[in-house]
């Protein structure tokens, strides 16, 4: 089958087109013919070896972390899906490979595609809606009337998180550039901080939750806008000891992650708030909870551009510019 792979980390050639063997099915696997695949910043980070200590992939590796397509075949233990079903998924972190004609996905990571969406629209959602759900529902337990700040509101995670936070009844603030103010307002943002004109920490106060996909200085400043007892959830790091335990890391990695997050955790404690690192995980169950919200229209995908499958390398390069509004998708059909 045709696929886009990496042969080694940080190669000057990046990803390349290749012929790869079709996936083998385990008993609980579903073979999906991919119609569209989302392109995410994590694809570039994996390509560059940024996760090789915690995600020891075997090379060559097919990249791609979310998809929509049609079931072709199912394993002997599969009960929920049958050939012909339209599905979408974020495969487990150990079994990525959406930049290909086919992928094998564990039944537990798969969900029926929202009926209201095209394949391209559906492929834009799994990673970002799962990230938003796990941050705002599972981790922060956002409730009606709370105040939530979402950084980078025009990005993939930001566009999904703004809509989910509004669905949960929160008052939502977001940061974005001048060009994207109208977009984030259309998604439901109540307060918009144009970071080219204002410093968010000077105008926002007493927030319950901050979702930060940026890290660095933005993460540290976010501690200052929280009320006592509030939480900042970072998805760009630094990873913490809880994450190390979650992935079953060695004692050396647990120590390393504890040290990496020491500064931000110390700053959070001093302000009476909490820092939590989130590395999104695959979950078909959560996608099934989110799908009705999508079909009701409360969450809509924001598509910046679609590329043909043959231009996957160019699609990833475009995502790396950081200029995309919402998501970028490659189409196979």
Q: What was the pLDDT predicted at 243?
A: 84
| 127 burial via Cβ count (<10 Å: 0-12, 13-18, 19+) | buried
Q: DSSP E strands: which ranges in 108-225?
A: 110-112, 147-150, 171-176, 191-194, 207-212
Q: How far apart are CA 213 and CA 97, in angstroms?
A: 23
Q: How far apart are CA 116 and CA 121, in angstroms?
A: 9
Q: Is the dihedral of CA 176, 321, 43, 259 positive or negative?
A: negative
Question: What's the pLDDT tens digit per position in 85-111?
Answer: 999 999 999 999 999 999 999 999 999
Domains of the chain: 2-124+301-331 (3.90.180.10), 127-277 (3.40.50.720)
Q: What was the pLDDT predicted at 258?
A: 86
**Region class of 152: left (phi > 0), else alpha (psi between -120 and 50), else beta:** left
Question: What's the pLDDT tens digit per position in 155-209?
Answer: 999 999 999 999 999 999 999 999 999 999 999 999 999 999 999 999 999 999 9
Question: What's the pLDDT tens digit per position in 148-157?
Answer: 999 999 999 9
Confidence class of residue 237 from pLDDT cuts 50, 70 and 90?
confident
pTM given for the model: 0.96
Q: Do residues 66 and 127 lie in contact, with contact meaning Cβ atoms separated by under 8 Å? A: yes
């Amino acid at each position: 089958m045709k696929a886009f792979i990496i042969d080694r980390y940080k190669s000057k050639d990046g990803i390349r087109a290749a012929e790869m063997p079709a996936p083998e099915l385990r008993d609980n696997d579903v073979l999906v013919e991919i119609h569209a695949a989302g392109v995410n910043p994590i694809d570039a980070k994996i390509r560059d070896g940024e996760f090789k200590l915690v995600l020891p992939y075997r090379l060559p590796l097919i990249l791609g972390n979310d998809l929509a397509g049609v079931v072709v075949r199912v394993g002997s233990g599969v009960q929920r899906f049958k050939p012909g079903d339209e599905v979408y998924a974020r495969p487990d972190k150990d079994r990525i490979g959406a930049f290909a004609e086919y992928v094998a996905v564990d039944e537990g990571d798969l969900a029926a595609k929202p009926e209201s969406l095209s394949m391209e629209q559906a492929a834009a959602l799994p990673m970002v809606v799962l990230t938003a759900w796990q941050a705002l529902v599972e981790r922060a337990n956002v409730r009606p009337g709370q105040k939530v700040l979402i950084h980078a509101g025009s990005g993939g995670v930001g566009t999904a998180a703004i809509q989910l936070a509004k669905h949960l009844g929160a008052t939502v603030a977001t940061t974005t550039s001048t060009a994207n103010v109208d977009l984030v307002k259309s998604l439901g943002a109540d307060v918009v901080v144009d970071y080219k004109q204002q410093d968010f920490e000077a105008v926002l106060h007493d927030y319950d939750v901050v979702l930060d996909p940026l890290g660095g200085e933005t993460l540290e400043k976010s501690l200052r806008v929280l009320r006592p007892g509030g939480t900042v959830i970072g998805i760009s790091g630094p990873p913490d000891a809880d994450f190390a335990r979650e992935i079953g890391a060695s004692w050396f990695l647990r120590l390393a992650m504890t040290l990496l997050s020491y500064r931000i955790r110390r700053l959070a404690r001093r302000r009476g708030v909490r820092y939590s690192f989130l590395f999104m995980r695959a979950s078909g169950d959560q996608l099934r909870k989110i799908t009705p919200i999508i079909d009701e229209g409360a969450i809509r995908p924001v598509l910046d551009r679609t590329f043909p499958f043959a231009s996957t390398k160019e699609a990833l390069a475009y995502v790396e510019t950081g200029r995309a509004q919402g998501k970028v998708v490659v189409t196979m059909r």
